[in-house]
Amino acid sequence: MPNSHLLRQELEKFKESSKEAVIDGNHKIKDVDKEYFHIEREVEKELRKIIEQVNESSSPQLVLICGNVGDGKSHLLSRLHGDIPAIMNNFQIHNDATESDDPSRTYLETLEDKFSDFKDSNILNTGNHTKSLLAINLGTLANFLHEKESNEFTQLRRFVEEKGILKQEIQDNSFDPNSSFQYINFTDYHLYSLNEDGAKSKLIKELLKRIVNPNSTENPIFRAYEKTMLQKGFSKEKCPILVNYKLLVDEPLIRVKIERLLIEVIVKYKHIISLRALLNFIYDLIVPAELASLSEESLFEKINSFNNEPEGFLNNLLINYVFEHPSVSLTYKHLAKLDPTSIRGEGLDSLIINLINAENPSQEVESFFDASIVKSIVRDYFDLKYSKRKHILEKTFIRLLFFTGNTSDQYFNDTDFDEYMDCLYAFNKSDFKKLLGLYKNVSGAIYKWNGKAGGKTTSNLINTFIGQRQNKYRISTELSLEPKPRDVHLVINENNEEDIVYKFLQYLRVAFRSKSENREIDIDYRLYLLIRKINRGYRPNQFDKSDFINFSNFIDELMSDVLGDKNLFFRESNHSTHRIFSLTHNDSFGIFKFKEIR
């Protein structure tokens, strides 16, 4: 039996708990494997440009490199040490703002020292030519500014507030020669970009491509795979780790689907996937949890046992595993909600019925796939005591169809998500003509939020609740909504690819003018889905109104603008004739008039 599983051993470097996952941003990357897996991102181009411009400045300059834990700030600094060493040597660099240089002092006290040259009094010192790079998490920056309420750092605080660094705003962060502060915010950039075809992730796509590249002598993962395949003493064709890796190598469609799934997780569940978390995800994808913690000897024994446990092997294939292990990480918890087996439709149900009734299930299934490795899995398992393994084989078929089927789009299209991403692209490019349908849907949901007002007297009635709740009459008023979309600052990348947006807001900001005031609401994917449902006939309940309290408050604000100076209509909802009354106010004479209008 082999001494070690070399592929698993090499992949373990991707784990968040691995020592290789930690990079010292104060020095150049020394590991050639890390160099191989480095993928240039737009944020790297932006930061390098700012640093080069700051280097030419004669005034004191502090560059804030802001973001969240694990998003690659240290990795990027380390990379720049290798690319522009002469320039980086001109900077004081403080990489981890959450650590203290002295155990007897807090990190905030240490941070104050790092900021000391940029106190208000020291910035004005003509002899101060300090140039500093400070990689800092947004929470740490917020804590520091909150703790330092004195007047020592008013210019720094004003800069952070004006640039909206701690808020969800996209602003121009190009070099400002009149300021002693510059910044780049990693949270403005995302794991994916937007274009006319939807959302794409160059980072995920390129990273997966490098991991599985069989033609590069620099790829340590594939070298380890080849060496493991030459080992003797265990059943390689029953090893989920080897087969999972081979699936990624041979079937690019699986890599495309993984890219899409991760983007959906980010957008649908507001989940943050850092660069470090992405690498850990890939490790978990190839090395199932059941096999990850085993000793080498136990691992090979377990692999050999899959010769007699087909279900165990199938359950550990990435096409099944990725949807069935929500406890592995928060990413996998969200992926479980995107399981294609939860989708039901006439076409997919028909395929399953045909599979159940087929005399030769493998022949029935094989025609849906092109990749030889997938065909091999189908031939090995779908004719083996099918009736006893019906549940796992049906799930495996649906997921194989989702990941690699040549007719996948026919059964698994998510039109709501695609339309949301189209709106997101148009919104971030301020292409308002393409947002007309969005505004129509939002205004429709606003009028129907409290139930359909009805009546033919006017088309813009909205129900309202005045005084004590009662069931006999439904009260409505007129509400006129004028769309007022607001420009979003668009950042064009350095290659002038105007059709690609790399820096953007991940929600839709919709604005209406009611009376004389503009009202805005941010619409994330969940609210977008609810709005679509309402326009298809769904009536929101109290749970919806509590869960989407921001939208409910937004509607209340719109109505408060017009209540008191508009007509009120009373519909007798429990009467067979559905009588309607109106209450009007004559401003000139200050009198009210109540009459039946139908």
Q: What is the DSSP string of 199-259?
A: EE-HHHHHHHHHHH-SS-TT-HHHHHHHHHHH--SS-GGG-HHHHHHHHHHH-HHHHHHHH
pLDDT band at 390 (very low <50, low <70, confident <90, very high): confident
Sequence-separated contacts (24+) of 343-346 with Cβ below 8 Å = 343/411, 343/412, 345/411
Query: pLDDT by residue (tens digit) across 120-179?
Result: 888 877 666 789 999 999 988 888 888 766 678 888 899 999 998 988 778 788 899 989
Q: What is the mean predicted confidence (pLDDT) over 457-465?
A: 70
Query: pLDDT by residue (tens digit) across 547-592?
Result: 999 999 998 888 877 666 667 777 776 656 677 777 776 666 667 7
Whether pTM > 0.85 for this model: the answer is yes
Q: Give me the sheet containing 517-523, strands edge to edge.
A: 482-483, 508-514, 517-523
Which of helix, strand or coil describes residue 235? Answer: coil
Q: Output b/e per residue, 453-464; b: 16+ Cβ within 10 A.
A: bebeeeeebbbb
Query: pLDDT by residue (tens digit) across 89-116?
Result: 999 888 765 555 566 677 777 788 888 8
Q: Which pLDDT score, from 0 to 100, does residue 106 have?
A: 78
pLDDT band at 494 (very low <50, low <70, confident <90, very high): very low
Three-state SS annotation for 87-116: HHCCCEEECCCCCCCCCCCCHHHHHHHHHH
Q: Which pLDDT score, from 0 to 100, does residue 444 have?
A: 92
353, pLDDT greater than 70: yes
Report which residue type is found at 504: F
Q: How far apart are CA 242 and CA 225, in angstroms?
A: 7
Q: Which pLDDT score, from 0 to 100, does residue 459 have?
A: 67
Tokens coding 78? 């380390």
23, pLDDT greater than 50: no
Q: Which pLDDT score, from 0 to 100, does residue 596 have?
A: 72
Whether the CB-CB separation of 402 and 340 falls below 8 Å is answered with yes
- CA-wise closest residue to 10 among 152, 219, 168, 162: 219
Q: What is the mean predicted confidence (pLDDT) over 390-405?
A: 89
Helix (H) or strand (E) holding 482: strand 482-483
For tokens 């957008």, name the residue.
267
- CA-wise closest residue to 474 among 489, 464, 483: 464
492, pLDDT greater than 50: no
Tokens coding 558? 């719109």
Q: Which pLDDT score, from 0 to 100, does residue 20 have?
A: 55
pLDDT band at 22 (very low <50, low <70, confident <90, very high): very low
Q: What is the mean predicted confidence (pLDDT) over 31-56?
A: 86
Count of residues in the chain: 598
Question: Cβ–Cβ contacts within 10 Å for residue 595, how many?
Answer: 8
Whether the CB-CB separation of 236 and 227 falls below 8 Å is answered with no
Q: How far apart are CA 85 and CA 88, in angstroms?
A: 5
Report which residue type is found at 99: E
Q: How far apart are CA 294 and CA 475, in angstroms?
A: 67
Q: How far apart are CA 281 and CA 12, in angstroms?
A: 11
Q: Which pLDDT score, from 0 to 100, does residue 49 have?
A: 93
pLDDT band at 24 (very low <50, low <70, confident <90, very high): very low
Q: How far apart are CA 165 and CA 149, in angstroms?
A: 18
Q: Roughly how many angstroms between the first and final C-alpha of the chain, as a whole number?
A: 89
DSSP state of 27: S
Q: How far is CA 534 from CA 539, 541, 556, in A?
A: 6, 11, 17
Q: How far is CA 591 from CA 271, 412, 587, 588, in A?
A: 56, 61, 7, 8
Three-state SS annotation for 249-315: HHCHHHHHHHHHHHHHHHHHHCCCCCHHHHHHHHHHHHCCHHHHCCCHHHHHHHHHHCCCCHHHHHH
Q: What is the mean predicted confidence (pLDDT) over 20-46?
A: 68
For the ranges 53-67, 70-84, 460-474, the maximum mean pLDDT occurs at: 53-67
Q: Is residue 42 classed exposed, middle or buried when 0-12, 13-18 and 19+ CB atoms within 10 A define those classes?
A: buried
Query: pLDDT by residue (tens digit) across 169-209?
Result: 787 888 999 899 999 999 888 999 999 989 999 999 999 99
Strand partners, 92: 132
Q: Which pLDDT score, from 0 to 100, does residue 208 have?
A: 96
Q: What is the mean predicted confidence (pLDDT) over 22-35?
A: 54
Helix (H) or strand (E) holding 582: strand 580-586
Query: pLDDT by residue (tens digit) across 317-333?
Result: 999 999 999 999 999 99
Q: Which pLDDT score, from 0 to 100, does residue 286 have?
A: 97
52, pLDDT greater than 80: yes
Q: How far apart are CA 261 and CA 520, in angstroms?
A: 30
242, pLDDT greater than 70: yes
Q: At what angle do helices 240-250 and 372-381 cross, to 10 degrees?
A: 140
Tokens coding 593? 């008039």
Q: Is residue 295 classed exposed, middle or buried when 0-12, 13-18 and 19+ CB atoms within 10 A define those classes?
A: exposed
Q: Give me the sheet containing 181-185, strands edge to edge.
A: 92-94, 131-137, 61-67, 181-185
Which of helix, strand or coil describes residue 126? Answer: coil
